[in-house]
Structure 1
């Protein structure tokens, strides 16, 4: 295989973006853009080195970069899997409300589709940025999921299962006794339901506060990013004028 192996193709395979979007899926699923053939070349090159056979210079570079390439490919796949799993945990009702936070993650991942290749020196920095963005999203998803599960869904379930009439199981009651007992029981149930309803209301208000806070934060980051881009453009124009 190495006799016909093109060293130029080796560099081309490593200079592609680390991510690719699969167009046949509805949302364009992201995939790690790494040719497994490269690892086959590494394996064969290692065998030939052990046999004291001469291999192309490009193959030597490939063998030398083996551990780094494997680590980067594994790290990229891990981050994509984590992103997919995290999005699957988001309750459907919150998908739209978490739009700004999801767009934030998408914007951090996007350079992997355009500018970051397997030979990029800043690839570890890119991985760190994606990891931090996912960690931030995970905190938000856990927070809203806990609120929905424990303070909304559970309370609504208890309210739906609350009996509004306490019928006697053994001893019969007179009409007046029954009415008095029902009045006392319904009064107590009204208090309990009101407390549970208040818990639900407070939880909804907290969710609204969280979503608004995230939306304002993402908007501020977007404006800051736009201002930074404008400053960079102005600096470039000034440099060109000086030239």
Structure 2
């Protein structure tokens, strides 16, 4: 990791981000994933969800991505990754998430390099999930309803190729499911969906201040009008 990531004050970095992010800083978090509870219908007691982890596929170790036994990986790009990550962290069955950069040509890029539009990376959320609790198709449904998949290289005020809509797949089954989801979304919206489906390549974990941003700051940043509305 480039040491200057940790040296730059967070407030200075945040002030330079896109308008969507600045506007989201005053919003209150709707919930904290670590304390999410659900009513037990039989006994009327509260059942606490296990905290959602932060190292999907062991990405924090900087090694080849390997999900835990029985788990799978998924990767989605849908604009500002703060809000996209927050959305997936609320989904039961998701066991870990991290934000980062993929789909580009540069190794271990910085946020500033990605924002220059010269590296080709997309802001992406890496998701580890338990398929016994949530299907990949369900995650695709969350993805396509939490951003606008009909706008090219743009989500609301955030413009640039790093904000493109993309699904990075880890096997043929995921690729086929993603293409089917695109066809269904086009039928539902009556619009052309520009979401790219690409085999997953190297995933570079973003700077620490980007990780679980909404949980750290108590904001609920970036989710924009979805499904082309």
Q: TM-score range by the shorter chain?
A: under 0.3
Q: TM-score, normalised by structure 2?
A: 0.20
Larger RCO (CA under 8 A, 6+ residues apart) = 2
Higher strand share: 2
Higher helix share: 1
Q: Which has the larger radius of gyration?
A: 1
Q: TM-score, normalised by structure 1?
A: 0.19
